[in-house]
Amino acid sequence: MARIFPDGWDTLRLSGGARREVETLALLKATLADTYTVYHGVHWTKLRSGFAVFGEADFIVVSPSGRLTVIEQKSGLLEETENGLVKTYAAKPKNVAAQISRTVAGLHSRLTAAFGSNTYRIEELLYCPDYQVRNRAIAGVNPSRIVDASQRDKLAGIIEAMMPEDEVPLPSRDQIHGFLANELSLVPDAGAMIGQAAKLVTRVSDGLASWARCIEFQPFRLRVVGTAGSGKTQLAIRVLEDAARMRLRALYVCYNRPLADHVRRIAPQGVTTMSFHQLCEAVATRAGVKVDFNDARAFGSLEQAFLSGKTSEDLQFDVIIVDEGQDFIQAWVEPLERLLKAGGRWWWLEDPMQNLYRREAIVLPGWVEVRATSNYRSPRDIVRFLGQLTSTPTAIEAASPFDGSDIGVISYPGASALQATRDALAEVLALGFRPQDIAVLTFQGREKSVFPVLDQLGKHRLRSFTGNYDAAGTPLYRDGEILFDSVFRFKGQCAPCVILTEIDFEVLDEVALRRLFVGVTRATMKLMLVMSERAAGEVMGRL
């Protein structure tokens, strides 16, 4: 019985391709001799070079001599073309032989750097548990290294024949397991990697939160123009923690209620966290103004109460943070300043590329301004994708430690994206993402989307804003496993896996580009784009 690393795989409850890989692990464990070791879900990192590639090899089997076999598993149907075997992902065909070659070349590079050349040996094997290859001669892979559906029960025997137990040990044998255990990031599924990714991205993006807080001048008015994923939220939380530690009264205010609710959950106790209209309501309440939140004019009435209301002593703060400042308008600046105590510190955080409401830029005379152009949150291929969509050089820099997330694209005919979104959801679930790690975001506003009225998508219930508020002005949500929202409401937040759906436009103009920018930069690991055929034509024409 073979040894399997990491353990815990037999407790996973997965579907799709991920489930098939767990079945393969069970087969290898039961049929390989106990002198063989299987590493699965192998994700090797190149953090010294500033990025990482994950998802490159399905399994690596180590023989008693220290020889390695890289197994590339292709579940489901394949296509036999004149250019070799092809697997289609999200309507994009990928050559299987080319994928295997890249995987093996990458591992060769890492092993040579670790042990030197001629100290190890790597074999390759293509495993197709659901497909029988008809013409092996044109598959693009050595025919003797293909195990298809007709040979599933012979998989272990073929591996043992390739790497016999009685081989002479290789020079790297005693170090190879340490290499795989220590140099590689071993995780059994996407869900296990999510925690590691979040910690790593938080750590590398903490730079803004560190150096910006070291700036000193009087009066303290600091404007931070930071791109998506540059660490503005980390900066805001650190400033709030500083205030709480010094027992100063601090206010965090942003335009979007979902972002305010999110920050409230992670902010230290004792600070005040509000959306702008919650702040307006606080001023209105003190002035005796009552507002019906189900009235379409409610928010306008709140804004007017804020502009004309007097500031009470309990709404005076030592520190004020305005987040998502591009959503604010000039008329709100002076009333906000009335909330700041004499000698107080005022932070203004914004990203002009996320100005979805097309508002005029705020003028802040005399403020010190700093810029942060590095995106630490989104995988590098997502940032490169954004750069290809604009004809002018993008100011955003790819700084995430992750690359190769493989952006998925599904296009749909006609007006409804519903079935295509179901397909996208099925694909990311098969990759191992849990429902709670997925956010389905509509490119359109809620009023133009077909999703707000749905209770579920596929087999999973949707957690979405009903459009209504309780008497206290709190948004009411449906219960569900998978979050649904619009790019407008989800600004400032992120999710491991984002399905950006209902992407539709005739021309990829500045308005459409900004919505795409906001939507795609919410993803920290995986992005799926569900686009109309005309929008897909516009986007693909830029790539």
Q: What is the mean pLDDT of residues 395-416?
A: 85
pLDDT at 186: 42
CA atoms within 13 A on the CB side of 16: 14
Do 470 and 401 belong to one domain?
yes
Considering the domain architecture, whether residues 29 and 11 belong to the same structural domain is answered as yes
Q: How far apart are CA 114 and CA 204, in angstroms?
A: 25
The CA distance from 32 to 521, in Å, is 44
Q: What is the percent of the chain where pLDDT is above 70?
A: 88
CA distance 319 to 345: 5
Q: Which residue has the higher pLDDT, 53 or 183?
A: 183
The predicted model gives 274-278 an average pLDDT of 93
CA distance 523 to 504: 20
Where does residue 55 fall: left (phi above 0), alpha (psi -120 to 50 degrees), or beta otherwise?
left
172-225 pLDDT tens trace: 888 888 787 654 444 334 555 677 677 667 766 667 888 999 999 999 999 999
pLDDT digits (tens, 9 = 90+) for 315-345: 899 999 999 999 999 999 999 999 999 999 9
Alpha-carbon distances, residue 381 vs 53, 356, 400, 408 (angstroms): 11, 23, 10, 12
431 and 482 in a single domain? The answer is: yes
Q: Which domain holds residue 37?
A: 3-188
Report the alpha-carbon distance of residue 444 to residue 455 in Å, rounded: 19
Residue 1: pLDDT band by 50, 70, 90 thresholds?
confident
DSSP 8-state secondary structure symbol assigned to residue 53: B
Q: Among 332, 359, 375, where does a domain finish? A: 375
Pair 170, 280 in one domain: no
Residue 278 pLDDT exceeds 50: yes
At 93-138, the pLDDT tens digits run 888 888 888 888 888 888 898 889 889 999 999 999 989 998 888 8
Q: Does the pLDDT of residue 159 top 90, yes or no?
A: yes
- Regarding whether 360 and 243 lie in a shared domain, the answer is yes
Please report which confidence band the pLDDT of residue 53 belongs to, taking 50, 70 and 90 as the band edges.
Answer: very low
Q: What pLDDT shows up at residue 474?
A: 75
* In the predicted structure, residue 516 carries a pLDDT above the cut 60: yes
| Mean pLDDT value across residues 396-412 | 87
Residue 390 tokens read as: 């604009």
- What pLDDT shows up at residue 441? 97
Does residue 357 lie in a domain region? Answer: yes
pLDDT above 80 for 41: no
478 part of a folded domain: yes
What pLDDT is attached to residue 92?
A: 74
Could you tell me if residue 323 is inside a domain?
yes
Q: Comparing C-alpha atoms, which of 27, 34, 24, 26 is closest to residue 3?
A: 34
Residue 13 neighbours by CB under 8 Å, 6+ apart: none
- Mean pLDDT over residues 295-300, rounded? 76
106: closest CA among 149, 60, 173, 162?
Answer: 60
Provide the pLDDT confidence category of residue 522 given band limits of 50, 70 and 90. Answer: very high
**Which string of DSSP letters, residue by residue, matches 103-133?**
HHHHHHHHHHHHH-TTS--EEEEEE-TT---
Contact residues for 139 (Cβ-Cβ < 8 A; gap 6+): 80, 84, 85, 96, 97, 126, 133, 146
User: Is the pLDDT score of 151 beyond 80?
Assistant: yes
pLDDT at 400 (0 to 100)? 84
Same structural domain for residues 212 and 94?
no
Task: Quickly state the pLDDT bin for 392 (edges 50, 70, 90).
Answer: low
Same domain, 504 and 393: yes
What is the model's pTM?
Answer: 0.66
Which of 17-31, 75-89, 187-201, 363-377 tops mean pLDDT?
363-377
Instruction: Copy the structure tokens of residue 8.
Output: 């815990």
Does 152 score more than 50 pLDDT? yes
Amino acid symbol at 163: M
Angle, in degrees to the nearest 10, between helices 276-286 and 298-308: 60
CA 210 to CA 205: how far, in whole Å?
10
Residues pairing with 483 in the sheet: 439, 463
Q: In the prediction, which pLDDT does 46 show?
A: 33
Domain tally, the chain: 3
- From CA 265, how far away is CA 261, in angstroms rounded? 7
Q: What are the DSSP calls for 266-281, one per residue?
A: HSPTT-EEEEHHHHHH
Q: Round to whole Å and give the CA distance between 75 and 73.
A: 6
Is the link from the previous residue into 219 a cis peptide, with omega within 30 of 0?
yes
Higher pLDDT, 174 or 349: 349
Note whether residue 201 is domain-resident.
Answer: no
- Can you tell me the distance from the alpha carbon of 402 to that of 307, in angstroms, rounded to the nearest whole number? 45
Higher pLDDT, 103 or 236: 236
The percent of residues in the chain predicted with pLDDT above 90, rounded, is: 51
Last residue of a domain, one of 188, 221, 252: 188
In-domain check, residue 429: yes
In angstroms and rounded to an integer, the radius of gyration of the C-alpha atoms of the chain is 27
Count the alpha carbons within 13 Å of 395 in the hemisphere toward its beta carbon: 11
pLDDT of residue 44: 37
Domain assignment present for 226: yes
**89 and 171, same domain (yes or no):** yes
Cα–Cα distances in angstroms (integers) from residue 315 to residues 221, 267, 298, 343, in the given order? 19, 19, 22, 16
**In this structure, what are the phi and psi dihedrals at residue 239, rounded to the nearest 5 degrees?**
-65, -40
* Torsion angle of the four alpha carbons 178, 179, 185, 189, in this order, in degrees rounded to the nearest 10: -70
Of 15-19, 261-265, 481-485, highest mean pLDDT? 481-485
Of residues 201 and 413, more confidence is placed in 413
Contact of 485 with 258, CB cutoff 8 Å: yes
Pairing status of strand 68-73 against strand 57-62: antiparallel
Same domain, 71 and 148: yes
Residues ≥6 apart with Cβ < 8 Å to 416:
450
Between CA 286 and CA 296, with CA 290 as vertex, the angle to 5 degrees is 130
pLDDT beyond 60 at 393: no
What pLDDT, on the 0 to 100 scale, is given for residue 472?
66
Task: Give the CATH number of the domain where residue 446 resides.
Answer: 3.40.50.300
**Is 490 among the domain residues?**
yes
DSSP state of 348: E
Between 402 and 420, the higher pLDDT residue: 420
DSSP assignment string, 175-213: HHHHIIIIIEEE-SSHHHHHHHHHHHHHHHTTHHHHHGG
Q: Is the pLDDT of residue 16 over 50?
A: no
Judgement on whether residues 436 and 402 belong to the same structural domain of the protein: yes
Residues 6 or more apart from 34 whose CB is under 8 A from it?
Answer: 1, 2, 3
User: For residue 13, what pLDDT band results from cuts at 50, 70 and 90?
Assistant: very low
User: How far apart are alpha carbons 381 and 428 in whole angstroms?
Assistant: 18
* 274 and 397 co-located in one domain: no
Residues 6+ apart with CB under 8 A from 165: 33, 35, 63, 64
Which of 353, 375, 397 marks a domain boundary? Answer: 375
Give mean pLDDT, residues 466-482.
Answer: 81
Same domain, 222 and 312: yes
- Taking residues 416-425, what's their average pLDDT? 93
Kindly report the average pLDDT of the chain as a whole number: 86
- Region 347-360: mean pLDDT is 95
Q: pLDDT (tens digit, 9 = 90+) per residue, 493-515?
A: 999 999 999 999 999 999 999 99
Q: Is residue 341 part of a domain?
A: yes
SS3 content of the chain, % helix, strand, coil (to 5): 40, 25, 35
pLDDT class of 492 with cuts at 50, 70, 90: confident
